[in-house]
């Protein structure tokens, strides 16, 4: 299966592991990821305002290219996913789309591409059962707390990934690679990552709540899809290691050396 792939700015820089292992694992799972040509940064935050046109253009260009190739668009970073998926939804509004399409050259775009987060690709396009079959190095006995944060799940009306108050997709992923999911209260609450520059104290309070809660529930590590969550949790003193989900997948599929963490 072929799919379009939007890596985003952080995966090319501070979060290269998130990207490299996403690609390696896709190879093993029979998905060919074709990187969007000349993609541009999504901007990191979706602007909900109906008169914010320029801030949507980079996402629309990526969506339009995927649509032209008739491929699903795969994202890995939680923020890229949130921005691109919300932009796609915004483009279903014809009045708004008209404004954006003035910048889009000949072919208008209408919000009809399909966007999958890599986790959704694993669940819906590959299948967790198939992943289980491909696991050569099951992470047996590892107790892992999934950290969803806010961007993957909300607003649920648009994101439609999972039940936003009791999500399962990351726990199912953790089971598929042979480990044991640890459910804890703050797994779908915000770590304050967006405010890390503006108000580091506020970000610290939010992120400590998440990591302490995971620790009390018995997790040995936290898994995330978001470079900003990882940065924020680690910087503010998480006693648990915070690992990208693609790294764990790569370990289980035997395309990464086993870490000692």
Q: With binding defined as CB under 8 A, does residue 193 bind other proteins?
A: yes
The residue among 146, 119, 139 whose CA lies nearest residue 240 is 146
The helix/strand/coil state of 205 is helix
Q: Tell me: does residue 241 bind other proteins (CB under 8 A).
A: no
Q: Is 107 in the site for other proteins (CB under 8 A)?
A: no
Q: Does 132 bind other proteins (CB under 8 A)?
A: no
Of 160, 202, 218, 259, the one binding other proteins by CB under 8 A: 202
Using the rule CB under 8 A, is 44 a contact of other proteins?
Answer: yes
Q: Which of 27, 92, 107, 199 binds other proteins (CB under 8 A)?
A: 199
| 248 in Cβ contact with 229 (< 8 Å) | no
The helix-helix angle for 57-68 and 78-90 (nearest 10°) equals 80
62 binds other proteins (CB under 8 A): no
Would you say 25 and 246 are in contact if contact means Cβ atoms under 8 Å apart?
Answer: yes
Q: How many residues bind other proteins, per CB under 8 A?
A: 44
Q: Least distance (Å) from other proteins to the CB of residue 106?
A: 28
* Calpha distance 164→225 (Å, rounded): 16
What is the rounded CA–CA span in Å between residue 227 and residue 214?
18
Strands 242-244, 221-224: parallel, antiparallel or unpaired by DSSP?
A: parallel
213 binds other proteins (CB under 8 A): no
- Local structure of 197: helix, strand or coil: coil
| Site for other proteins contains 51 (CB under 8 A) | yes
At its nearest, how many Å lie between other proteins and the CB of residue 150?
A: 4
Least CB distance from residue 261 to other proteins, whole Å?
17
130-136 contacts at long range (C-beta below 8 A, 24 or more positions apart): 130/29, 131/29, 131/176, 131/177, 131/249, 131/253, 132/176, 132/178, 134/28, 134/29, 134/253, 135/176, 135/177, 135/178, 135/252, 135/253, 136/252, 136/253, 136/254
Report if residue 95 touches other proteins, rule: CB under 8 A.
Answer: no
Report if residue 181 touches other proteins, rule: CB under 8 A: no
Identify residues 133-172 at the interface with other proteins (CB under 8 A): 150, 153-157, 164
- Which is nearer to other proteins, 67 or 206 (by Cβ)? 206
Distance CA 149, CA 183 (A): 13
The Cα–Cα gap between 139 and 175 comes to 9
Sole binder of other proteins in the list 195, 213, 217, 255 (CB under 8 A): 195
Task: Select from 38-46, 134-142, 166-174, 253-261 the region that touches other proteins (CB under 8 A).
Answer: 38-46
Q: Applying CB under 8 A, which residues contact other proteins?
A: 8-10, 13-15, 41, 43-45, 47-52, 55, 77, 79, 150, 153-157, 164, 189-190, 192-199, 202, 206, 227-228, 230-231, 234-235
């Amino acid at each position: 299966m072929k799919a379009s792939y939007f890596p985003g700015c952080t995966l090319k820089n501070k979060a290269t592991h998130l990207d490299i292992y996403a690609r390696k694992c896709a190879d093993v799972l029979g998905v060919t990821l074709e990187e969007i040509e000349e993609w541009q940064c999504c901007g990191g935050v979706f602007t909900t305002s109906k008169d914010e046109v320029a801030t949507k253009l980079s996402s629309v260009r990526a969506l339009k290219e995927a649509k032209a190739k008739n491929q699903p668009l795969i994202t890995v970073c939680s923020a890229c996913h949130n921005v691109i998926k919300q932009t796609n939804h915004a483009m279903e509004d014809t009045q708004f789309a008209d404004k954006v399409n003035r910048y889009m050259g000949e072919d208008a775009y209408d919000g009809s591409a399909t966007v999958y987060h890599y986790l959704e690709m694993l669940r819906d396009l590959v299948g967790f059962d198939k992943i289980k079959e491909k696991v050569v190095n099951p992470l047996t006995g590892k107790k892992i707390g999934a950290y969803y944060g806010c961007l993957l799940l909300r607003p649920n009306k648009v994101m439609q990934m999972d039940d936003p108050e009791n999500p399962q997709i990351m726990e199912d992923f953790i089971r598929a690679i042979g480990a044991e999911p640890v459910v804890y209260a703050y797994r779908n609450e915000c770590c304050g990552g967006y405010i890390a520059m503006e108000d580091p104290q506020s970000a610290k309070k939010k992120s400590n709540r998440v990591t302490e809660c995971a620790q009390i529930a018995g997790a040995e590590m936290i898994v995330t899809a978001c470079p900003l969550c990882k940065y924020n949790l680690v910087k503010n003193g998480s006693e648990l290691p915070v690992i990208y989900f693609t790294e764990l997948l790569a370990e289980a599929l035997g395309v990464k050396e086993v870490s000692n963490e």
